[in-house]
Amino acid sequence: MKARGLIALSTAGLLLAACGTTTTERAATGGLAGAALGAAVDGSVAGALIGGAAGATLGAVTTKRSDNVNRRQYYDERAGRYYYQDSNGRYYWEDGSRR
């Protein structure tokens, strides 16, 4: 029973490590999830610290799914910036902020 809970918590932590649109958001969510998992598994502050550090590191090195997608970019001459359209029809600047 304890192994199933550990597997479920680990899977949830890995999924949360990829949440967020920026590296900082992914590191923060990964760190919080890792700290919660570390405290739940080990039951001590040391477990929470180790889990938080591991989760933050994993969250910081992951990339969001759209970073790996080749997309067509357009150039806005007035703004002097590139933008693209996602699959839902929304427009974003090259840095990912809403246009």
User: What are the tens digits of pLDDT across the range 24-52?
Assistant: 777 888 788 878 777 777 777 887 788 88
Q: Is 96 inside a domain boundary?
A: no
Q: Is 81 inside a domain boundary?
A: no
Q: Is 78 inside a domain boundary?
A: no
Asked if residues 18 and 26 have their Cβ atoms less than 8 Å apart, the reply is yes
Q: Is 53 inside a domain boundary?
A: yes
Q: How far apart are CA 36 and CA 52, in angstroms?
A: 8
pLDDT for the residue numbered 20:
67
Q: Which of 47, 45, 56, 48 is nearest to 16 (CA)?
A: 56
Q: Which helix (H) or strand (E) holds 54?
A: helix 45-61
Contacts for 63 with CB less than 8 Å, ≥ 6 apart: none
User: What are the tens digits of pLDDT across the range 51-65?
Assistant: 888 888 877 777 665
Domain range enclosing 16: 2-63
Asked if residues 60 and 27 have their Cβ atoms less than 8 Å apart, the reply is yes
Mean pLDDT of 84-95: 86
Q: Is 46 inside a domain boundary?
A: yes
Structure-block tokens of residue 65: 């799914």
pLDDT for the residue numbered 85:
87
Total domain count for the chain?
A: 1
